[in-house]
């Protein structure tokens, strides 16, 4: 195939996903900036909030995030006093996570901005389209790419 007629990056599912994620991330981050939180941090605080003092592993699993990545991401939030951790009394391997009172206040503040971004997105993209998109993304997150065992 000649270079001039090569298909663009529009063909790679992964590349398109990342590109859209950068775009949307920049927008949400922008709107949330006044709170001092990135959209990812707001999302993480929210996830912790709706969980029942979730274990790190549980959070990582629901966000489809590497456990160590979660640990790293949590650090600035702990440092800033929004989140605290404690060992599960029944299984000391397990570390549970919860919001501090300040974390709760900050989350409230951030959620207001999140609503603005979310609303703006749905206004621009269309509510139906947004909903269908989220459903499609949720499906992808649930896919199983494992090849069946060779035997």
Partner DNA sequence: CACGAATAGTGGCATATGCCACTAAATGAA
Partner DNA sequence: TTCATTTAGTGGCATATGCCACTATTCGTG
- Residue 149 φ/ψ, nearest 5 degrees: -50, 140
Q: Which residue lies nearer to DNA by CB, 3 or 72?
A: 72
The region of 71-79, 107-115, 123-131, 132-140 touching DNA under the rule CB under 7 A is 71-79
| Tokens representing residue 5 in the block | 């007629």
Contacts of 10 (CB under 8 A, 6+ apart): 16
For residue 63, the minimal CB distance to DNA (Å) is 7
Q: Which residue lies nearer to a second copy by CB, 93 or 149?
A: 149
Contacts of 49 (CB under 8 A, 6+ apart): 99, 104, 107
Among 2, 5, 8, 72, binds DNA (CB under 7 A): 72
Binding stretches for a second copy (CB under 8 A): 3, 6, 8-28, 39-40, 43, 46-47, 49-50, 52, 62-65, 114, 117-118, 120-122, 124-125, 129-130, 132-134, 136-141, 143-145, 147
Contact 96, 86 (CB under 8 A): yes
In sequence order, what E strands does the chain have?
83-88, 91-99
- As a whole number of angstroms, the longest Cα–Cα distance in the chain is 64
Among 46, 47, 51, 85, binds DNA (CB under 7 A): 85
Q: Which residues of this chain interact with DNA, rule CB under 7 A? A: 18, 22, 25-26, 29-30, 38, 40-41, 55-57, 60, 64-69, 71-73, 76, 85, 91-96
């Amino acid at each position: 195939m000649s270079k001039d007629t090569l298909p663009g990056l529009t063909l790679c599912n992964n590349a398109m996903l990342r590109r859209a994620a950068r775009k949307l991330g920049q927008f949400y981050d922008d709107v949330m900036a006044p709170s001092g939180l990135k959209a990812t941090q707001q999302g993480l605080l929210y996830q912790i909030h709706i969980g029942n003092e979730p274990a790190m592993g549980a959070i990582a699993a629901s966000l489809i995030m590497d456990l160590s990545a979660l640990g790293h991401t949590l650090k600035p939030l702990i440092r800033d006093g929004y989140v605290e951790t404690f060992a599960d009394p029944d299984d000391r391997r397990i570390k549970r996570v919860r919001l501090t009172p300040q974390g709760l206040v900050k989350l409230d503040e951030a959620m207001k901005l999140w609503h603005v971004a979310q609303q703006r997105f749905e206004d621009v993209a269309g509510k139906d389209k947004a909903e269908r998109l989220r459903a499609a993304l949720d499906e992808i997150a649930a896919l199983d790419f494992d090849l069946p065992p060779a035997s």
